[in-house]
Amino acid sequence: MPAPRPLKPPLKSSSKPPIVLCLSGHDPGGGAGLQADLETLAAHGVHGVGVITALTVQDSRNVRRVIPTDAALLAEQLNVLLADVQPQAVKIGLIGDAAQLPVIAAVLARLGLPVVCDPVLRAGGGTDLVAAAFPAALRRALLPQVTVLTPNAAEARRLVPDAADLDACAAALLADGARHVLITGGDEPGETVVNRLYSAGNASTSGPIRHEWPRLPETFHGAGCTLASAIAARLALADAPVDAVATGQRWTQAALARAVAIGRGRRIPGRIPPPSARIAS
Q: How many residues appear in the chain?
A: 281
- What span, in angstroms and rounded, lies between the C-alpha atoms of 104 and 244? 23
* Cα–chain center distance at 52: 13
User: Has residue 7 been placed in a domain?
Assistant: no
Residue 238 in contact with residue 44, Cβ under 8 Å?
no
User: Has residue 149 been placed in a domain?
Assistant: yes
- CB count, 10 Å around CB of 54? 23
Residue 103 in contact with residue 92, Cβ under 8 Å?
no
pLDDT in tens, the chain (281 residues): 445 444 444 445 558 899 999 999 999 989 999 999 999 999 999 999 999 999 999 888 888 889 999 999 999 999 999 999 999 999 999 999 999 999 999 999 999 999 999 998 866 655 656 677 889 999 999 999 999 999 999 999 999 999 999 999 999 999 999 999 999 998 888 899 999 999 997 655 578 999 999 999 998 989 999 999 999 999 999 999 999 999 999 999 999 999 989 888 889 899 987 666 555 54
Residue 128: per-residue pLDDT: 58
Residue 201: per-residue pLDDT: 78
- Looking at the structure of the chain, the number of domains it has is 1
Residue 174: per-residue pLDDT: 97
User: Has residue 129 been placed in a domain?
Assistant: yes
Residue 281: per-residue pLDDT: 47
- What span, in angstroms and rounded, lies between the C-alpha atoms of 155 and 279? 29
User: Has residue 279 been placed in a domain?
Assistant: no
User: Has residue 159 been placed in a domain?
Assistant: yes
User: Has residue 263 been placed in a domain?
Assistant: no
- What span, in angstroms and rounded, lies between the C-alpha atoms of 53 and 268? 21
User: Has residue 265 been placed in a domain?
Assistant: no
Instruction: Pick the closest to residue 245 from 204, 279, 196 (CA basis).
Output: 196
* Domain limits for position 38: 19-257
User: Has residue 184 been placed in a domain?
Assistant: yes
Residue 63: per-residue pLDDT: 85
CATH number where 76 lies: 3.40.1190.20
Residue 232 in contact with residue 41, Cβ under 8 Å?
yes
pTM of the model: 0.90
Residue 161: per-residue pLDDT: 94
